Structure 1
Amino acid sequence: MTVSLICIMIALLLAFYSFKNSNVFGNNLILEQLNLDVSENAIDFKIEIADQYTLCFLGCKDLNLNQAKLNLGKADKEISLRINFLKYSFFHKGQNGIEYFNFLADETGQYRLLIKNTKSIQFFFSRLASMKMILGSKKTSDISILIKKYNHPLKKISVLVPTILSLMLFSLGIILLLKKF
């Protein structure tokens, strides 16, 4: 009886920790949402807090840049865009999105994202190759760019692992408790 109660209590503590730190998945970290328009290749946005950010494409689950080039800069300084190792999919306001690039903004102020060869970018409904062939690609006009604070994959894992452990421990505690009766 005590082992089952201890399992349940530890599970509740882990669940509390996970929910307390679960804002790494939340939409409250969004900085700005910008439309990706074929006719306009330069997009201006403002960063008020110097931090690491991620550049997301909203309205697709995968993309192929082909010959397209993305340059990010502040005044005369160019900032390097790094492709995310793990490209997380997410759901925001009824649309699928993908975290594709991340960058470090050392200073606050006005930034400019310059996109060359926008028409060559292919946006897909799915990540599966077979579904890409069947469904084809989406129009660029249906896609928007979302800029939000970057969360390192280890931060996300540090929330997921305790959540899974809490579910397992809670189940074990209930099973042990029911086994006594």
Structure 2
Amino acid sequence: MSTPPSAYAFPGLLLLLLGGAVIVSAENNKDCHPSDKAALLVVKSAFGNQSHFASWTPSTPCCERHDATCNDAGRVISLLFFVDFTLTGTIPNAMSGLVELLVLNLYYLPAISGHIPKGIAKLSKLTSLGISLTSVSGPVPSFLGALTKLGVIDPMDRGRLDISGNLPSLGADELDPEPAMVM
């Protein structure tokens, strides 16, 4: 008795489908760019709560890390930290290593303090910066005016941060009066 040709086709088709799934999975699971990886590990260390950053290990791809979003090339394009009383420390200057970052939002993190670091000025692609309900204080640095793609500063803790400084590329209408939740 001979085996019908369809019996040979099924395992071949199954291998083809599984092979395709592995390729797609590998593309979506890109490892971190070295500068993104280094910057994220410094952020993890600077913000102090290791349980919050449990998924932020050196071996975890950037795109699988809680609070981080990546583009198709696997580069970190947004960091969104919302409502966490356990995050402490200051905004690390090393965020400057996230050169593809478009959105940085620190919202309702009362134990994050200090000033806006100069490294933020190196984020030339940044379009939205939110620092709200934190303990970050001082003048909004004039170097933010050099970020030509920055369209929204939201709302920069008006009670603690002095927004009266010179921000040449931002008009008063671009300082949001209400917090904008980026989802």
Class of the TM-score when normalised by the shorter of the 2 chains? under 0.3
Q: TM-score, normalised by structure 2?
A: 0.26
Q: Higher RCO, 1 or 2 (CA under 8 Å, sep at least 6)?
A: 1
Structure 1-normalised TM-score? 0.26
The structure carrying a bigger helix percent of its residues is 1
